[in-house]
Amino acid sequence: MRFLFPLLLFTASAAFAHVGSPDVFFDGSAGPYRLLVTIRPPVVVPGVAEIEIRSSTPGIRQVHIVPLPLTGPGARFAPTPDLAKPSKDDPQFFTGSLWMMASGSWQVRIRASGAEGSGQLSVPVPALASRTMTMQKGLGALLLTLLLVLGVGAVSIVGASVREGQLEPGLLPSAERIRRSRVVMGAAALLVVLAVWLGNAWWNSEAGNYGRIIFKPLQLTAALEPGGALRLRLSDPGWLRWRRVDDLIPDHNHLMHLYVLRLPAMERVWHLHPEPAGPGELVQQLPPMPAGAYQLYGDIVHQNGLPETVVAQVNLPEIPGRPLAGDDSAGAAPPLSQADPARTVTQLPDGYRMVWLRDPGPLRARRPVLFRFRLEDSAGKPAPDMELYMGMPGHAAFIRDDLTVFAHVHPSGSVPMAALSLLQPSGPHAAHRMQMSMSASGLPAEVSFPYGFPKPGNYRIIIQMKRGGVVETGVFDARVEN
């Protein structure tokens, strides 16, 4: 029985870039067309990635898609692209599936053409085996029955051929023939058992090989040092040879973006940027924090563009701390017990407010949506003095109340900017062509994030925008239905 179900042994959680939120969302321009792209990477590799593309620019006629390695020579020579299928109901919506043949950092190149001409964009996608498919119990039972029938059948055919193969019709086999056939059947049974045993060994060794490539996230340990510094250590649990802890590249100027949430109520949140302190080590000078338990989500990007989110929990005494500096920021919200999914306005400490421009209707799991937010002054006018915060009009984090989902998303989507810049060395591209309320500085007071919740439940959304040198942190709650 064991050889039919050895793969049940390997079930790891699907957590790599982001936590519990493997789908990739991207809002960008392919030449004249603004596209909202959703890529659902395969859970096994090789496996099939599902691609959905919606154009908000009319006139699109054809969409071609092709997978390529993110970097290296393979990224220069594209195979023949596939044609994505237009939807019957919506001519601006296209779907397709692509095979991802190896683990690693990939991109999906999308070429759109139509009335406005043509253009292309690329979306980085990590392809990592996150689990092993398990065999269905019914199929297993069926295969086991077939194996028994085959084995017993083979043995009895061999026996019958020795016993009766050369017998004239109507005659009974002699005692000698019966004895010989029993000996041969015994030998045949041994052979069948040996073949099954070898098959089992082969299967288990294949499963073992696959088990080794299943993604294991880097581990994070956090320890408080005298003086209120938090030391973060990355360690590799033993995964693919190419993964290292000392090959991090900066993502909008920081090696790590660390979200710190006070547990269990998530009523305080910090967005911090630890400094490198040796291979696989980072140090963060903590701001003033009350004693308690804290959840840490650290976003990092490897040299090859592969993003990871490392997770840890830490108990801290009261930290007198240093004032926030640089890009570090903090926010406050009602405790989770008072979460209100109907609230669309966050009143900010300086009189400004952040408004969630929600579409009517419930939020649904696995449905990509543009989440739009506007920063207003106390008179309700769009904030006039918007600035980029770490090179972006805004930063969003989507967190499920049980901490099983964490996604750090930007206006261009859930792809880390460091991976994007490996594709487009000219820097972040035109993801923010927002024809919305522009402030005096030319930056819109409105920002949008493409995202889809991976599963139903209650979520907290943390939105950060910067104006007049101040990072404004708005916290919203969402109830997501199936």
Q: Which residues bind Cu ion (CB under 5 A)?
A: 395
Q: How far is the CB of 28 from Cu ion (least distance, A)?
A: 17
Q: How far apart are CA 104 and CA 100, in angstroms?
A: 9
Q: Which residue is nearest to Cu ion (CB)?
A: 395
What does the block give as tokens for 362? 């419930």
Q: How far is the CB of 407 from Cu ion (least distance, A)?
A: 11
Q: How far is the CB of 395 from Cu ion (least distance, A)?
A: 3
Nearer to Cu ion, 113 or 448 (CB): 448
Strand partners, 67: 108
Nearer to Cu ion, 64 or 273 (CB): 273
Q: How far is the CB of 304 from Cu ion (least distance, A)?
A: 20
Nearer to Cu ion, 93 or 259 (CB): 259
Nearer to Cu ion, 79 or 427 (CB): 427
Nearer to Cu ion, 334 or 428 (CB): 428
Nearer to Cu ion, 27 or 52 (CB): 27
Nearer to Cu ion, 109 or 252 (CB): 252
Nearer to Cu ion, 273 or 395 (CB): 395
Q: How far is the CB of 447 from Cu ion (least distance, A)?
A: 12
Q: How far is the CB of 214 from Cu ion (least distance, A)?
A: 28
Strand partners, 117: 114
Q: How far is the CB of 73 from Cu ion (least distance, A)?
A: 31
> Do residues 326 and 350 lie in contact, with contact meaning Cβ atoms separated by under 8 Å?
no
Nearer to Cu ion, 100 or 123 (CB): 123
**Of 277, 273, 272, 246, residue with least CA distance to 260:** 272
User: According to the 3-state scheme, what is the secondary structure of the chain?
Assistant: CHHHCHHHHCCCCCCCCCECCCCEEEEEEECCEEEEEEEECCCCCCEEEEEEEEECCCCEEEEEEEEEECCCHHHCCCCCCEECEECCCCCCEEEEEEEECCCEEEEEEEEEEECCEEEEEEEEEEECCCCCCCCCHHHHHHHHHHHHHHHHHHHHHHHHHHHHCCCCCCCCCCHHHHHHHHHHHHHHHHHHHHHHHHHHHHHHHHHHHHHHHCCCCCEEEEEEECCCEEEEEEECCCCCCCCCCCCECCECCECCEEEEEEECCCCEEEEECCEECCCCEEEEECCCECCEEEEEEEEEEECCCCEEEEEEEEEECCECCCCCCCCCEEEECCCHHHCCCCCCEEECCCCCEEEECCCCCCEECCCCEEEEEEEECCCCCECCCEECECCECCEEEEEECCCCCEEEEECCECCCHHHHHHHCCCCCCCCCCCCCCECCCCCECEEEEEECCCCCEEEEEEEEEEECCEEEEEEEEEEEEC
Q: How far apart are CA 371 and CA 356, in angstroms?
A: 8
Q: How far is the CB of 209 from Cu ion (least distance, A)?
A: 37
Q: How far is the CB of 59 from Cu ion (least distance, A)?
A: 33
Q: How far is the CB of 32 from Cu ion (least distance, A)?
A: 28
Nearer to Cu ion, 30 or 396 (CB): 396
Nearer to Cu ion, 94 or 459 (CB): 459
Q: How far is the CB of 341 from Cu ion (least distance, A)?
A: 24
